[in-house]
Structure 1
Amino acid sequence: MKTRISVAVTALLALVLSILAFIQPAHAAAGFTVSGGQLLDANGNPFVMRGVSHAHTWYPSQTGSFASIKSLGANTVRVVLSTGARWTQNSASDVANVISICKQNRLICVLEAHDTTGYGEESAAITLDQAVSYWISVQSALAGQERYVILNIGNEPFGNNASVSATWPTATRNAITRLRDAGFDHTIMVDAPHWGQDWQFIMRDNAQSVFNSDPDRNTVFSVHMYGVFDTAAEIIDYLGRFRSANLPIVVGEFGHNHSDGNPDEDTIMSYTQANGIGYIGWSWSGNGGGVEYLDMVTNFDAGSLTSWGQRIFNGANGIQQTAREASVYSGNPTTPPTTRPPTTPPTTRPPTTPPTTPPSTPPPGTRSCTATYAITGQWQGGFQGDVRVTAGGAAIGGWTVTWTFGNGQTVSQSWNATITSSGSNVTARNVSWNGSLGAGASTNFGFLGSWNGNNGVPVLRCAAS
C-alpha cells in the first residue's frame, strides 16, 4: 500500500511540475520576450525601438558614434556586422566590445549579419544558414547578454529572384531552430525577403508559422520600407495586418528617399508611434553608391545633422520626441522612463495652458498659409515652442513664418525649419522635405528658446510660395 501511495504521489508531483514548467514563460528572466505581439524588456516593460543603423563593419574606428547616437535621443542602435564572407569578419572580441559600448551608452544593441543581403540575386551573398554558423562562432560574446542584445539573423536575406525568395519561410524556420538548438536565448529578429521590402508578402503571409516554429515564441519580424512603401495606405495595411494577428513587427530600416521611389516617412513614423511599433532608420553616416542622401549626419559628426537627420531625430514623431530608454538601464522594473526632451532642461508645463494664435481663414483657391504658435514646455529661463503651418485652399511649394518677440525671448535651437533672428524679429523657413503642402495640409516645426520675466505669445505671419 505504501509503495502504491508513494508511486501515486510521485506521479502527481511530476504532473504538477510539468504543468508549471509548461505555463511558465520561456526564458522569462533571461532578457527580451514577446507577449501578445509586443516586445517586452527583461523587466517585463514594453519596449519600442527608436533607433538608427550604424555601419560598424565598414567603419570600425567610429566607435564614438554610439555615444553620439545616444546623445540625440535614440534607445536602440542596429549594428552592421560581417561574417567574413563579403567583408572583414567581426570577431567575437569585436562583437563583445560593441555590446560593451552599447551598454555603456544605455542603448539596446540589435546585431545584424549583413552578408546575406540580396541572396539569390546578389552573387556574393550568403545563406541564412551560413549566417547562423557565424553567430554560433561568436556565441561566447553573446552569451548572458540577452537583456541588452537582439539578434537580427541576416540583413535582407533574399533579393527579388522569385524561386529563391519563395524559400524564405523554410530557411527562416530552419535558422531559428539551429539558433535555439545551439543555446541562444535572445530575441531573434528576422528580415523580410525582396531586399527587406516583402512586396510579394511572403513574410506577411507566413509570419504565424515562422513565429510558431520558435520554441521560445520570441521572434520579431522586420520589414524595410523604401520605395515599395510610398503611400500611407500601403504602410498602414502592411503593419496593421501584423497588429491584427498579434505578431511583433518593427520597421527595421527606412529612409526619406530612395532610388526605387519615395517612401512616406511621415506615415511610417506617425503610424508606428500611434501603434507602439518600433522603427530603426538607415543610417547614421558613411553611405555611398549613390545613396549618400541617407546619411543622418555629415562625416559622423553629431553636430552636423543633414535634413534626413533633422527629420528623424527632431521631427514630428521623431526619436527625440518618442524614444524611451529601456528600463533595464533605469533600474526601475515597473515604470518606463518618460520621453526625453530635446535638451537636458526639465520640461514642466507652465501653470496654465499657453494661448495659441488663432489662424485666419484664407480665401479658397489662393496660395496662402496660416501658422499657430504654442508653448509645449517651460522651465526657469527656457522653453520649448511648436509652430504648426497649414496650407490654405490651394497647394503650396514652400512657406515662411515670421514673428516678433515682445518680451526679449530668443531662439537657441530649432528642428524642421531654418530659423534666423535679427534682434527680436524671427524668420522661419521650410526645410527641403516639408515645404510642399497640399491644400489644407499641415506640418510642424519646433524650437528651444530662452525667456526672462514674461513669455508672451507673439503674432505669427505666414507667407506661401
Structure 2
Amino acid sequence: MRSPSPRSAAVTALAGAVCAAASLVAATGAVFGAPAAGAAVACQVGYTAADWGTGFTAAVTITNRGPAVGGWTLTYSYTGNQRLANGWNGRWSQSGTTVTVVNESWNGSLATGAAVQAGARFAYSGANADPTGFTLNGTACNGGTEPTETPTTPPTTPPSDGTAPKLKVSGNTFVDAAGAAVRLRGVNRSGGEFACVQGNGVWDGPMDAASVAAIKDWNANAVRVPLNSDCWLGLDNVDPAYRGAAYQNAVKNYVGLLEENGITPIVELHWSHGLWTGNDNHCDTAAAECQKPMPDAEYAPEFWSQVAAAYKDDTAVVFDLFNEPYPNNLQVMDYGQSWKCWRDGGPDCPGLTYEAAGMQDLLDAVRATGAQNVVLAAGNSYSNDLGQWLAQRPADPAGNLAAAWHSYNFNFCEDAACWDRQLAPVAAEVPLVAGEIGENTCGHSYVDTLMSWLDGHGASYLGWTWNTWDCAGGPSLISSYDGTPTAYGAGLRDHLRSAP
C-alpha cells in the first residue's frame, strides 16, 4: 500500500509473518498404536531428518489417536553423539542421549485426530541413526510404519531460535545454507520510513528485545523494515539527530536484533526523493516525505549502493528494492510503457517530472558492491500487478531475484481468479513474497482466504503492520507492543501459529 501522509499513523505497507516447520527430506516415520491399559494417550509419531554430514534438522509429527489432551511431552533417545542446538514449536531439552520436547502454550491442546509438528537442529559426528522409540506423556507409542512420501520440493526450515538463515534462490524457492526450503512469513514494522523525516525520531514505537520477542511469539520468521533514503543518506532536510550515521546505526542495531532471534530482516526502500504533482500524487515536495511513483535516479541507486555495501557479507538480510511502484497509475503512459518504465526508468518513463531509476538500475547498484543477497522486486500499480513481471524482470547475474506483491481487500487483484491468472505463473518460476497483506475492515476474512491460497503455492507473506494505530485508519495488527492483537491481527497470529 501507499505510505501514510506526513503526520498520519495509518501507513500503508504490509507485513507478513512466518513460521515454517515442515516437509523435511523423507525418512521412515514410525506409526505407534494403542498404549498400555489405562494410559491417557494413544499416539502416532512420525520422524524425519535432513542431514548435511555434521548436523541435521529433525522434525517430529505427533498425531493424537486417543481422547483430547490439554498438553503433551514427547521423549526419545539417540544412539550416537547427537547434540541439540535449538528447537521450535516446542520447548526442547537434552540429557545425555535422551531428548525431551514439551508443548508451547499455544500448541498443547490436541483434539482426537489432531496433529502438531515440532523441529530442532542438532550437531553430530560419526553415525546418525534415527530414533526408534517414542514416549508421549509417559506412555510408549508403538506400532507399524507410516507410508513414506517423496517430497517434490526442498524441505522447509522452521523458524530458528538463533541466527537467521543465510538465504539464496533455488528455482521458485528460498533455501538456507543446508539446502532446506525457507518460506518467509511474518509482519511489517513500519516507522523507519516516516518518523525520521518528520522529526519524530528514527522509529515509531519500541524496537527493543521485548518488542521482537512479542513478534517472535506469533511464530513470525521475517520482519520487513521500511526505510527512508533521505534519512539514510543524511540529506539536509532531515534533523541531524535522525539522519546519516545515527539512522544507519539504528537500522543496523534492529537488523542485528532480528537476526539474533532467528528472524529474517527484509530492508526496503519505502519513501524516496523526486517531485511528482500529477495524478495520484501524495505530497508536493521532492523530499522523501511520501510514496513516490518510482525511485529517483539522483539518490535511490546511491541508497542501495550504501545499504548493499553495509550488508553484503550477511546474506541473511533480504533487500526489497522499492515499496510500491505505480507508473501505470500516472495517466502519462500506456500499460506496456509503464512496465518498461518500471524496469529501466529514465527515458522509458515519459511524462514523469523527475528522472526515475528502474528496478534494473537499483539491482545493478546492489550487485556492483559484490552483494549476493536475495533481492525482491515489487510489481506495478502499487505492487498489486504482476501481469508483466516475468517478461520485464531485471536481469540478475547472481540469480537471487524474487517477485514481491502487495494485496489488500480493496485492490484490483483481490480474488482467486486474479491470483490464478497473475500470481500462479510467477510463483511457479521464482519465489513469490506477498510483502504486504491486509484488510481495512479490521477483520481477517480476506487475509484468511489469501493466506490459504499463498500456502497452496508455496509463497511467502507478511502482514501490515506491527504498529499500534487505529485499525480504522489502516490495517494494524496490534493494539499493544506486547503483541495484543486487533481482530485483524488475531487472524494472522492464529494462522502463523498453526502453520506447518
Tell me the TM-score normalized by structure 1: 0.55
Matches within 5 A, 1:124-203: 124=285, 125=292, 127=295, 129=297, 130-146=299-315, 148-158=316-326, 160-163=329-332, 165-166=338-339, 167-170=341-344, 171-198=358-385, 203=386
Distance 1:89 1:234 in 2: 41
- The structural deviation recorded for 1:197 is 1.4
- The structural deviation recorded for 1:37 is 1.5
Distance 2:303 2:491 in 1: 35
Answer yes or no: is 1:300 the counterpart of 2:484.
no
Give the secondary-structure state (helix, strand or coil) at the position aligned to 2:365: helix
Percent of aligned pairs sharing the same letter? 23
The residue aligned with 1:423 is none
Letter in 1 for 2:498: Q
Match of residue 207, structure 2, among 63, 69, 82: 63
The residue aligned with 1:43 is 178
The 3 A distance-change label for structure 1 pair 300 and 222 is: same
Match of residue 493, structure 2, among 274, 295, 313: 313
Give the secondary-structure state (helix, strand or coil) at the position aligned to 2:393: helix
Distance 1:117 1:275 in 2: 36
Letter in 2 for 1:157: P
The 3 A distance-change label for structure 1 pair 257 and 233 is: farther
Distance 1:311 1:262 in 2: 5
Equivalent residues, number? 281
- The structural deviation recorded for 1:248 is 2.1
Higher relative contact order (CA 8 A, sep 6+): 2
Deviation per residue, 1:187-215 (Å, 9 max, x gap): 111112222212xxxx431424425x111
The 3 A distance-change label for structure 1 pair 44 and 132 is: farther
The residue aligned with 2:417 is 233
Distance 1:256 1:181 in 2: 38
Matches within 5 A, 1:264-283: 264-283=446-465
Contact between 1:49 and 1:278, CA under 8 Å: does it hold in 2? yes
Contact between 1:32 and 1:41, CA under 8 Å: does it hold in 2? yes
- The structural deviation recorded for 1:119 is 8.3
Distance 1:119 1:263 in 2: 38
Distance 1:235 1:113 in 2: 25
The 3 A distance-change label for structure 1 pair 277 and 192 is: same
Distance 1:175 1:321 in 2: 37
Answer yes or no: is 1:80 the counterpart of 2:226.
yes
Give the secondary-structure state (helix, strand or coil) at the position aligned to 1:264: helix
Distance 2:405 2:169 in 1: 17
Match of residue 390, structure 2, among 172, 195, 207: 207
The residue aligned with 1:53 is 188
Give the secondary-structure state (helix, strand or coil) at the position aligned to 2:253: helix
Contact between 1:257 and 1:263, CA under 8 Å: does it hold in 2? no
Answer yes or no: is 1:257 the counterpart of 2:440.
yes
Distance 2:454 2:371 in 1: 29
The 3 A distance-change label for structure 1 pair 75 and 117 is: farther
Distance 1:192 1:263 in 2: 24
Give the secondary-structure state (helix, strand or coil) at the position aligned to 1:271: helix
Letter in 2 for 1:143: K
Answer yes or no: is 1:221 the counterpart of 2:403.
yes
The residue aligned with 2:250 is 94
The residue aligned with 2:121 is none
Give the secondary-structure state (helix, strand or coil) at the position aligned to 1:84: helix
Distance 1:66 1:118 in 2: 33
- Radius of gyration: which is bigger? 1
Deviation per residue, 1:140-190 (Å, 9 max, x gap): 5313111x2100112113352144644002111122112111222111111
Matches within 5 A, 1:420-439: none
Give the secondary-structure state (helix, strand or coil) at the position aligned to 2:271: helix
Distance 1:79 1:195 in 2: 18
Give the secondary-structure state (helix, strand or coil) at the position aligned to 1:300: coil
Contact between 2:342 and 2:359, CA under 8 Å: does it hold in 1? yes
Letter in 2 for 1:104: E
Matches within 5 A, 1:332-347: 339=500
Contact between 1:168 and 1:193, CA under 8 Å: does it hold in 2? yes
Distance 2:262 2:249 in 1: 20
Deviation per residue, 1:94-141 (Å, 9 max, x gap): 222122111121100011111149985345436254323113234453
Q: Which consecutive residues of structure 2, in runs of 5 or more, have no partner in the other structure?
A: 1-164, 196-202, 232-236, 286-291, 345-357
Task: Give the structure with the higher percent helix.
Answer: 1
The 3 A distance-change label for structure 1 pair 312 and 220 is: same
Give the secondary-structure state (helix, strand or coil) at the position aligned to 1:179: helix
- The structural deviation recorded for 1:73 is 0.6
Give the secondary-structure state (helix, strand or coil) at the position aligned to 1:207: helix
Distance 2:331 2:477 in 1: 33
